[in-house]
Amino acid sequence: MLEKKRLNTAEYDANFSDIHPPFETRDAALVEANRCLFCYDAPCTKSCPTGINVPKFIKQITTDNLKGSAHTILSSNIMGAGCSKVCPVEKLCEGACVFNLMEEAPIPIAKLQRYSTEKALEQNWQLFQRKPSNGKRVAVIGAGPAGLSCAHSLAREGVSVTIYEKEEKGGGLMTYGIAAYKVTPQFCEDEVNYILSIGGIKVKYGQALGKQIQLSDLQQQYDAVYLAFGVGLARSLSIPGEELSGVTDAIGFIYDIRTKGFSAVSVGDKVVVIGMGMTAIDAATQAKRLGAKEVTMVYRRTETEMPCTKAELDIAKLDGCEIIWLAAPKTLIGKDGQLTAIECERMELGAPDSSGRRSPVVTGETFVLETDMVIKAAGQMPYTDLVSKTSLQHKNGCVTTDANGVTNLTGVFAGGDCVNGGKEVVDAVQAGKDGAKAILSYLNL
């Protein structure tokens, strides 16, 4: 039975409290900061898509130069505060930390990054000076990580930026698509406000491309346009029964949690989540934390091929989620329009596919799980329809650009998930920086 308000406020608060708490004291931060070896041409920096000079910002913590530390981080990654909470650091900076090669715990880079950047946000340190306006105007579609990063880079150079955002708040998937125990809505709002505080950026909310605004109009009204509208559609399972009540998708589910509040989101007794990406984990763990009795994750390959990190999988396991490897959904079974069970097919691994991972092959053996809620988290789809209606070149809905975000349309640039099909926040931030650079060069600035 799908039910709202399964828990009381105190239980929600406990279940959704910060999963990676910050350093409590300066001393605690210094113990870790002082462990950093201050590597040269550091592997952590090379493993960060935005290239944050990690040893430098950690060294600056040890010298009590927190402002400098925050500047080091934010000058490479304006969403450095948010990334310190949501980055899968175990496969990025912390995963590359040389201490791993000594079988020692890596430096807690994310936690230290949070230490510096949180202070910058709290104290509203203005670390960047906007150059005087140069009269150039750029439209940015989407106030997510790529759009905000691009807008900030442009604003710094004196460009006047207008961001068009379809939602009522900025932050994109950071605000609407990530587990609430990683970032709170308040934090997302604070981070967006901090980014916008540089000046020269206007955000127009409730403006969706193809609806309230059209690309061709923007091309005429602005000196350049940057597309950063992301991805957003849940991939359908293409199996019978998807229309049944009780079948939902992870993006919508998480969106509801982030917008309506915990008690207003319905969750079943026995929840099945399809997929094993980051979003699947966020959906499964949050279903459990909303009060679902049982949560089972179904994935058609094995742990070796799963897209989520080991750290993420551990969160799900610690939350008590069951995992069924090598199983694919076959039929969603219902009664009177209501979901009651899911039939799954046992899989085995065959030859490697185009991603290099061994592809799952049906065995013919099936099994049935009783369920009243299935959350589809088998990937996100690009806005193919939207893109097809423009003259943008694209590949299966993903906008085609060169390495710097230049599209086939003069003066139109693109980056982030709408180009790459869906990657990490930190990748989107870098795409925004690259796009801004290309735009500045296009505008001869």
Partner 1 sequence: MAASLHTDFLGIQSPNPFWLASAPPTDKKINVLRAFEAGWGGVVWKTLGSQVKNVSSRYSAVDFNGTRVMGLNNIELISDRPLEINLREIRECIKLFPDRAMIVSLMADNNRESWHELINQVEDTGAHGIELNFGCPHGMTERGMGAAVGQDPEIARMVVEWVMEKATIPVITKLTPNVHSPVPTGKACVEAGTNALSLINTIQSVTGIDLDSFVPNPNVGGKSVFGGYCGPAVKPIALKMLTNISQNNTTKKVPISGIGGISTWKDAVEFMLLGSTSVQVCTAVMKHGFRIIEDLCDGMLNWMEEKGFEKTTDFIGKSVDNITHWEDLDINFHHIAKINPDKCIHCGLCYIVCEDTSHQSIQLTYGKPYNTYTVKEEECVGCNLCKLVCPVNDCITMEENRVAPEYLNWKDFQRLGLPLNDH
List the interface residues with partner 1, window 78-97 (CB under 8 A): 96
Which residue of 101, 264, 318, 361 would you call a contact of partner 1, by CB under 8 A? 101
Which residue of 19, 102, 361, 368 would you call a contact of partner 1, by CB under 8 A? 102
Of 296, 288, 280, the C-alpha closest to 341 is 296
H or E, element range at 294: strand 294-298
| Site stretch for partner 1 (CB under 8 A), options 98-106, 168-176, 211-219, 262-270 | 98-106
Which residue of 20, 53, 99, 445 would you call a contact of partner 1, by CB under 8 A? 99
Amino acid at 88: P
Contact (Cβ atoms closer than 8 angstroms) between residue 44 and residue 56: no
Residue 63 backbone zone (phi > 0: left; psi -120 to 50: alpha; other: beta): alpha
* Residues β-bridged to residue 273: 297, 375
- Measured from the CB atom, the residue of 42 and 66 that comes closer to partner 1 is 42
Q: Which two tokens stand for residue 432?
A: 């925004």
Q: How far is the CB of 119 from partner 1 (least distance, A)?
A: 18
Quickly count: other Cβ atoms within 10 Å of residue 330's Cβ.
18
- Measured from the CB atom, the residue of 14 and 101 that comes closer to partner 1 is 101
362 binds partner 1 (CB under 8 A): no
List the interface residues with partner 1, window 25-64 (CB under 8 A): 30-31, 33-34, 37-44, 46-47, 62
| Rounded Cα distance, 235 and 149, in Å | 27
Residues 6+ apart with CB under 8 A from 95: 47, 89, 106
Q: How far is the CB of 36 from partner 1 (least distance, A)?
A: 10
Q: How far is the CB of 33 from partner 1 (least distance, A)?
A: 8
List the interface residues with partner 1, window 169-188 (CB under 8 A): none
Angle, nearest 10°, between helix axes 185-196 and 145-156? 20
Question: How many residues line the site for partner 1 (CB under 8 A)?
Answer: 20
- Measured from the CB atom, the residue of 33 and 273 that comes closer to partner 1 is 33
125 binds partner 1 (CB under 8 A): no
19 binds partner 1 (CB under 8 A): no
Residue 169's alpha-carbon distances to 149, 262, 283, in angstroms, are 16, 18, 21
| Rounded Cα distance, 142 and 228, in Å | 5
Of 246, 247, 230, 321, the C-alpha closest to 282 is 321
Binding map of partner 1 across residues 228-267, x = CB under 8 A, - = no contact: ----------------------------------------
Which residue of 98, 213, 311, 324 would you call a contact of partner 1, by CB under 8 A? 98
24 binds partner 1 (CB under 8 A): no
- Measured from the CB atom, the residue of 46 and 131 that comes closer to partner 1 is 46
List the interface residues with partner 1, window 302-321 (CB under 8 A): none
- Measured from the CB atom, the residue of 38 and 205 that comes closer to partner 1 is 38
Q: How far is the CB of 50 from partner 1 (least distance, A)?
A: 14
Q: How far is the CB of 307 from partner 1 (least distance, A)?
A: 21
- Measured from the CB atom, the residue of 36 and 257 that comes closer to partner 1 is 36
Of 354, 435, 440, the C-alpha closest to 399 is 435
Q: Which two tokens stand for residue 193?
A: 């406000």
| Rounded Cα distance, 258 and 282, in Å | 12
Residue 259: exposure state from Cβ atoms within 10 A (0-12, 13-18, ≥19) = middle
- Site of interaction with partner 1 (CB under 8 A): 30-31, 33-34, 37-44, 46-47, 62, 96, 98-99, 101-102
